[in-house]
Structure 1
Amino acid sequence: MNLRLSTVILPYRRWNEGSRGAWQRAEQLGFHTAYTYDHLSWRTFRDGPWFGAVPTLTAAAAVTERMRLGTLVTSPNFRHPVTLAKDLITLDDVSDGRITLGIGAGGTGFDATALGQEPWSPRERADRFGEFVPLLDRLLTEDSVSYEGDFYSAHEARNIPGCVQRPRLPFAVAATGPRGLKLTARHGQAWVTTGDPRLFESGTPEQSVHAIRGQAEKLADACAAIGRDAAGLDKILLTGFTPDRGRPLESLGAFVDFAGRHQELGFTDIVIHWPVPDSDFAADEKVFEQIAMEAPTQLR
């Protein structure tokens, strides 16, 4: 399979002051998918403008025609499966079946306490995620769902007519630990990784590739344990969080080299951030567009 190139457009600009144009330009540049973060606020952007993922994707669906759209990623930090399912079915309908749900267990950032709760421990996040994903799977594939769990409940939740995509829209599950990889194997159509966060500050690109190879091997083991071939899952690398940081976007050659190393590990999709000036995602827009237009051909 040829390597696909996708982008993340952070929702920090007003729709009519640059955001609409970015989504339309992303389609013109040929990106396979344009994602956005599903957060209430995020890191260095916390004290500035930040808009909601679901309305942003709805608007993006209305001004694009071919490009896939999605979250990267949604988490249980402030989402409930019942209400999320209704939003996703609506998004899938408005986009005519172009939505991918990137989903993860969530972290300890601002979203984790925005509803007034104490931050969950890693174990509780994993426990909640282990209940969240299977319930959401049911809600997106069954007309009526009743469920009583430790963390989530649904009482005759109706989701008619269901997704345009059948049996439901695809899940791209972000996971590196054993429990998350088991969920990916059972419920995912794609796997997402950002690499090993322990290597971000002081690791090397070579160490990162080695760590990601190990993650992919563990995913293959999780798939084999339930009789599934891991080759059937798309494998998505969200860039910007490996020791390389922004260097792959410094030139076309640097990106092709970076992407090629990960393509050899079996990755089907590389996701790059739309340039954001004066941030961790600052990049030369001309180089960014050159990468979008020319890199996929060089990587075939």
Structure 2
Amino acid sequence: MRLSTVILPIHRWAEGRKIWRRAEDLGFHAAYTYDHLSWRSFRDGPWFGAIPTLTAAATATRSMRLGTLVTSPNFRHPVTLAKELITLDDISGGRITLGIGAGGNGFDATALGQEPWTPRERADRFAEFVPLLDRLLTEGAVTHEGTHYSANEARNVPGCVQRPRLPFAVAATGPRGMRLAARHGQAWVTTGDPKLFETGTPEQSREALRGQVEKLGKACADAGRDVAELDKILLTGFTPEANGVLDSVDAFVDFAGRHAELGFDEIVVHTPVPDSVFAADVTVFERIATEGIAQLNG
């Protein structure tokens, strides 16, 4: 089991640098950040860009993996995103993971002046976005004329440091997203079943996650791929027991152990943000980082 963290892009870099360095010192496998233009209850406060933040983090850290959790088509285009990712992968020395999902409604969905996409259009765009981005990161020059995205001799030389490209962690719960994860992902990401967040029980949540893992296995089998090739990542904070995961080392170990039994091999917790939905005791959080995974892994 690996333990990673999300560091929200809400800090001016003079402070943010310390937080990313501390995450590495604590031994986190990876530190991710959200790739949004703003996010929910943080919308009226500081919020910085994901790619510049990760670029700065790459120069402030040495070995910890870095990435987005997650990027979406809401305000991204595969051609420009690919160029930024290749640059970021180079600066980091090959430590970048791209968490990528279909996105959702909200500020990101309309910030460029467009009408919100229907669920079908969102799925259609994601189904075109991921394969094109895959090509852009692995081929020297790409031409593509699609329904939603096009590329005309888009060149990405010399390509990623990581070969054949940096890994994709595909966020998915539905059948179309699962197929994309099976075909293009090196990892799969979930936050659980959103319908259970406020009214479900931990037991119901784990059963829903078990079903998601089974669907991923079927999608991989249909794609002729061994599901064991994909890492299974659980982003915490959105399941019924969300508020208790960071209450104590024992609470975390129990939570992570139960989800390891379902097949998850990476748990992601949010670095505490005071007076927010991600508020937590920093001392306990740091003990979980240094002691919790050690207990799980024996």
TM-score normalised to the size of structure 1? Answer: 0.99
Residue 25 of structure 2: aligned partner: 28
Aligned to 1:172, the other structure's residue is in SS state strand
1:232-277 deviation line (CA, Å, top 9, x unaligned): 1000000000001120100000000000000001101000000000
1:158-205 deviation line (CA, Å, top 9, x unaligned): 000000000000000000000000000000000000000000010000
1:64-112 deviation line (CA, Å, top 9, x unaligned): 0000000000000000000000000000000000000000000002100
Q: Which residue identity is paired with 2:5?
A: T
Alpha-carbon separation, structure 2, partners of 1:170 and 1:151: 24
Residue 237 of structure 1: aligned partner: 234
Aligned to 1:156, the other structure's residue is in SS state strand
Residue 110 of structure 2: aligned partner: 113
Alpha-carbon separation, structure 1, partners of 2:231 and 2:9: 25
Match of 2:6 among 2, 8, 33: 8
Residue 246 of structure 2: aligned partner: 249
Alpha-carbon separation, structure 1, partners of 2:243 and 2:132: 37
Q: Note the C-alpha offset of 1:226.
A: 1.5
- How do residues 258-277 of structure 1 correspond to structure 2 at under 5 angstroms? 258-277=255-274
Alpha-carbon separation, structure 1, partners of 2:70 and 2:43: 17
Aligned to 1:299, the other structure's residue is in SS state helix
- How do residues 1-300 of structure 1 correspond to structure 2 at under 5 angstroms? 3-16=1-14, 18-300=15-297
Alpha-carbon separation, structure 2, partners of 1:226 and 1:201: 35
Q: What RMSD in Å do the two structures reach over aligned CA positions?
A: 0.4
1:50-75 deviation line (CA, Å, top 9, x unaligned): 00000000000001000000000000
Alpha-carbon separation, structure 1, partners of 2:269 and 2:243: 9
Alpha-carbon separation, structure 2, partners of 1:140 and 1:71: 16
TM-score normalised to the size of structure 2? Answer: 0.99
Q: Note the C-alpha offset of 1:147.
A: 0.2
For structure 2, which runs of at least 5 residues remain unmatched after alignment?
none
Aligned to 2:242, the other structure's residue is in SS state coil
Moved over 4 A (4+): none
Alpha-carbon separation, structure 2, partners of 1:80 and 1:199: 32
Residues matched between the structures, number:
297
Q: Note the C-alpha offset of 1:229.
A: 0.7
For structure 1, which runs of at least 5 residues remain unmatched after alignment?
none
Alpha-carbon separation, structure 2, partners of 1:103 and 1:216: 18
Q: Which residue identity is paired with 1:270?
A: I
Q: Note the C-alpha offset of 1:227.
A: 1.2
Alpha-carbon separation, structure 2, partners of 1:12 and 1:193: 23
Q: Note the C-alpha offset of 1:13.
A: 1.1
Alpha-carbon separation, structure 1, partners of 2:177 and 2:62: 33
Alpha-carbon separation, structure 1, partners of 2:245 and 2:108: 29
Q: Which residue identity is paired with 2:212?
A: Q
Aligned to 2:113, the other structure's residue is in SS state coil
1:264-293 deviation line (CA, Å, top 9, x unaligned): 011010000000000000000000000000
Aligned to 2:97, the other structure's residue is in SS state strand
